[in-house]
Amino acid sequence: MAKKYHGGKMGVNFDGFLELSRKIDEMGEGLLKQATENALNASKNYVNREVEDAMIASRFAFEGGARSDAKNKPASGRALASVREVAQKPVEWNGNVATAYIAGDLEKSPEIVILTSQGNPHIKPDNRLKNAVKVKGAVRKEVNRIQQEEFTKILKEGMKNG
């Protein structure tokens, strides 16, 4: 039995999603599923890249060396390895529901959220990492743009094919 995943997930949601979905669905069987899968693949790849880049740039030194907040506790690289592992997971379908996995497995790398993306009264969160892990701010805007673009591509192809 597959081990349970405790981490970030994302779906498809952007302005005009319902309208575009309806049009694509009317064009032919399987096209909506294809659009959803393309949108999730492209946007999860973007988010996972953002998370990884934010971790590499982070003051918390995820790649190794001592963390500024926890002297004498060298980072093991476990969190970054988990993000890279999760980034390889394909989009999964369970009936009509598709899920994309993002931002690492919290069971293997709880420090991503606890130490950095959440912050606490005495530790300022790493905003770039927080927005990447939680798909907020500029990351949310780009995800919306990517997903809308993938749906529009399928719509245009469907119209071309008639």
Partner 1 sequence: MVEIYNDLAELKIPVYAEGDAPAELPDQYFTFNEDYTSGGVFADNGEKTVVYEFALKYYTKDASTIYSTLGAALALLKSKGYITTGVGYANPTYRDTWFSRQADVKKIEYTGG
For residue 78 the two structure tokens come to 């476990």
Question: In 3D, which of 90, 98, 129 has the Cα closest to residue 10?
Answer: 98
Chain residues that interact with partner 1, rule: CB under 8 A = 114, 118-125, 127, 130-131, 136-138, 141
Q: List, in sequence order, every beta strand (DSSP E) within the chain.
A: 7-10, 66-67, 70-74, 92-94, 97-105
Identify which of residues 141 and 145 has a Cβ nearer to partner 1 in the complex: 141
Q: To the nearest whole angstrom, how small is the minimum distance from the Cβ of residue 47 to partner 1?
A: 15
Q: Output the smallest distance, CB 131 to partner 1, in A.
A: 6
DSSP string, 27-52: H-TTHHHHHHHHHHHHHHHHHHHHHH
Kindly tell me which of 45 and 127 has the beta carbon lying closer to partner 1: 127
CB of 41 to partner 1, least distance (A): 25
**CB closer to partner 1, 10 vs 35:** 10
